[in-house]
Chain A
Amino acid sequence: MAETKYDVLIIGSGASGGMAAYTLTKKGIKCLMLDAGPPIDFDRQRVNKSAHELPFRGFGKPGKLSHVFQATEFNANQWVDETQVSYTHDPKEPYNWVRVRMIGGKSLFWARMSFRLSDYEFRAKDHDGYGDNWPISYSDLAPYYDQVEPIFRVRGRRDGLMQLPDGVFIEDTSGESECNKRFIAAARERGIPNTKMRTSMGRGQFASSFNLLLPDALATGNLTIVPNAVVREITVDKNTGLANGVNFLDRQSHREMHATARVVVVGASCLESTRLLLNSGIANSSGVLGHYLHDQFYITQSVQAVVPEARDGKSPNGFSGGFIGGGGYMPRFRNLKTKEKNFLRGYALDWSTGGSPDAKYFPLYGEALQKAVESCRGAGFSCTVMGEVLPRADSQVRVNKTVTDAWGIPVLHIQTHYTSNEFNMAKDAIATLEELCHTCGWEVLGRHDQMFPPGYSIHELGTCRMGDSPKTSVLNKWNQSWDIKNLFVVDGSSFVTGGSQNPTMTILSLSMRASDYLAEQMRKGEI
């Protein structure tokens, strides 16, 4: 017999679910949180080892986690096992669905890059005519970014960039190394701005729902967390048409349970939330559910260069006043005031100096290779390109009823690929970077414009998009289902466009905003 009647049932304990719990419980609302993963004791779950102590000498078990390029033999057990929770795709259209199932979700492992979207994203159609605007503007979300950033302790530098709004930052006052000054100046000559990386500092070893949101929510006495609860279906009252709870299975025993609440908030991550709604057969009167999947394309080590003056250990690293070291972030600079010929939107550059180029870049072997690697230690430049992917209706997911996961739940079939807009953007990025390196007098060891398959960025977005009309969107501007008014979806699936910025700050802010609205509606008795 359930001990408590819950006001709100929250599915997922990551950034979006955690923020919903944080916001709602502080307003006195009783919440039940279900998460498919276990709680983790990080001190007991991780041990220090050397690569030679691992079964596969650090190479990893061949064939395991073939879609998770981030996986190493050290961290392989932190990711969802693809054989346990599989998905399907056309072999010609690979998709890297990278997942975490544990309390705190992916917020335990994110890169902490913490940016705001701007009206170049929220009003994107107004700017270039493509796609759709969001049903909200930057001014609607700005007050929530203002609240989220101090919780996550975002460090950054305020630069007044229209395409990357400033936030409530712990001010980054660090200087620039000589190499960085040279690179920044070369970019500035071409109209490319630069700022310091904006990073969630968090507290202790995490900047996660796990340590920044859930403890406060639990402290209110209004949150109950049930781990290992694999939600199979959202249930709907046939008489009212309202959601009344969920059926879930215990992760280990597979015992099925039903939990009830007045409201259901889904924050299970973009594609898991979409899969749940599709498997429940709800919230899709528009026919849009599962469509418009997008993310950011990533090209890591896009241009790898060496700073000649820093070879042979002549210039030790130094972030302030040293010759080499540190990095920066160049936000979107294309298609703002001017118009590119062969692509819409733009890309951002995450660059650094002071690293060591991998041995593969040197056309050498044997002792000569080892000497070259040693000579270039700490003398490298590298950059990751992160490009906006256009949301398209035919980029979609659906349920594949012929395949089920370990709990008998039908899996997703994912159908998406990048197109000429992304490929042309990537070419522009690499040409620009190579030109900047040459201007700086740096030796380019390698360059490529080959992006990882869709999904690699772990920024999947858009499959439960919000909008102004129930005919063209799944959610209204409050992340509330058009079809079922006591159903909210608060994760990245609600995005209309994603820009080139990492999405976590926006997911957190949308969840806080939706939760504020939900609490007010509940107070008024509207829900």
Chain B
Amino acid sequence: MKRRRFIQALAATPAAPALLAQQVQPSQQAPPAEASLRYSLPDAAAEPVLHFFTAQQFAALRKLSDFLMPPVNGAPGALEAKAPEFLDFLLSQSPADRQQLYRSGLDGLNAQARKRFNKLFADVDAGQTDTLLAPLRDPWSYDAPADPVAAFLRAVKDDVRRATTNSREWNLAASAGRTRGGGGALYWLPID
């Protein structure tokens, strides 16, 4: 915590005057170098709280993510990278049309699984999954498919891949030489 914020936080507490007096004395010495502090990202220390998908939708998304991006040759898969959990957050922040694409796509997958195999998508076996993912074996075209489930599958294929390869887990695997990518780039700080 930066010193000013720390003092502001103290000032907001009932015991602030006494505490502040105690803290002011040390602050007159040279402040500790911030560069010596180490910080962690939230993903390294905590689990995401889900908000967007229903339980059935999320179960389908997890199954789908694992199928689309499994772990291969030491590279983490989508589940290890917590891609479904990240997409739950991303979709919660996304425009309504994108939210609708995902919700109707996952509901559509569950409906198709029920109709064909009398199960939810999360419970179908590998062969049945391949059957339901047939639209992903169509050649690429610029225009998104008209069918909402096919359009969703095309979108989620890209998103799961990106959420996986941009994850902390992928970055660590790349650093250990188990996969490629995961590198950095120059990030622009906000301009005042």
Residues 86-98 of B, flagged 1 when their CB comes within 8 A of A and 0 if not, give 1000100111001
9 extra A-B contacts, CB within 8 A, seeds A52-B170, A57-B86, A445-B140: A47-B187, A53-B184, A57-B163, A365-B68, A365-B157, A366-B67, A446-B141, A448-B141, A450-B142
Assess the A365–B133 pair: CB atoms within 8 A: yes
Given known A-B contacts A62-B98, A74-B188, A365 and B166 have beta carbons under 8 A apart: no
Residues 448-465 of A, flagged 1 when their CB comes within 8 A of B and 0 if not, give 101000000000000000
Q: How far is the CB of A47 from chain B (nearest CB, A)?
A: 6
Checking A38, A48, A61 against B185 with a beta-carbon cut-off of 8 angstroms, the contacting residue is A48
Residues 427-445 of A, flagged 1 when their CB comes within 8 A of B and 0 if not, give 0000000000000000001
Within 8 A of A (CB), among B150-171: 154, 157-159, 161-163, 166-168, 170-171
Given known A-B contacts A61-B93, A366-B70, A52 and B188 have beta carbons under 8 A apart: no
Does B145 count as interface, using CB distance less than 8 angstroms? no
Within 8 A of B (CB), among A349-393: 359-367, 369-371
Q: How far is the CB of A376 from chain B (nearest CB, A)?
A: 13
Interface size bracket, B side: 35 or more
Assess the B70–A52 pair: CB atoms within 8 A: no
Assess the B191–A45 pair: CB atoms within 8 A: yes
Does B33 count as interface, using CB distance less than 8 angstroms? no
Binds B, one of A21-29, A75-83, A145-153, A339-347: A75-83
Q: How far is the CA of A40 from the CA of B191 in the complex (A)?
A: 9
For A359, list chain B residues within 8 Å (CB). Answer: 157-158, 161
Q: How far is the CA of A61 from the CA of B92 in the complex (A)?
A: 11
Given known A-B contacts A58-B166, A59-B90, A74 and B142 have beta carbons under 8 A apart: no
Checking B41, B157, B161, B190 against A52 with a beta-carbon cut-off of 8 angstroms, the contacting residue is B41
Given known A-B contacts A57-B86, A365-B67, A366-B69, A74 and B186 have beta carbons under 8 A apart: yes
Assess the B186–A46 pair: CB atoms within 8 A: yes
Assess the A63–B95 pair: CB atoms within 8 A: yes
Assess the A50–B158 pair: CB atoms within 8 A: no
Give residues in B with beta carbon < 8 Å to A: 41, 43, 67-70, 72, 75, 86, 90, 93-95, 98, 133, 136-143, 154, 157-159, 161-163, 166-168, 170-171, 182-192
Assess the B167–A52 pair: CB atoms within 8 A: yes
Q: How far is the CA of A52 from the CA of B83 in the complex (A)?
A: 11
Assess the B185–A74 pair: CB atoms within 8 A: yes
For A362, list chain B residues within 8 Å (CB). Answer: 140
For B95, list chain A residues within 8 Å (CB). Answer: 62-63
For B158, list chain A residues within 8 Å (CB). Answer: 359-360
Q: How far is the CA of A450 from the CA of B140 in the complex (A)?
A: 14
Given known A-B contacts A61-B93, A365-B67, A448-B142, A49 and B187 have beta carbons under 8 A apart: yes
Assess the A363–B185 pair: CB atoms within 8 A: no
For A61, list chain B residues within 8 Å (CB). Answer: 93
Q: How far is the CA of A53 from the CA of B41 in the complex (A)?
A: 7
Assess the A52–B191 pair: CB atoms within 8 A: no
Assess the A51–B68 pair: CB atoms within 8 A: no
Q: How far is the CB of B38 from chain A (nearest CB, A)?
A: 14
Q: How far is the CB of B82 from chain A (nearest CB, A)?
A: 10
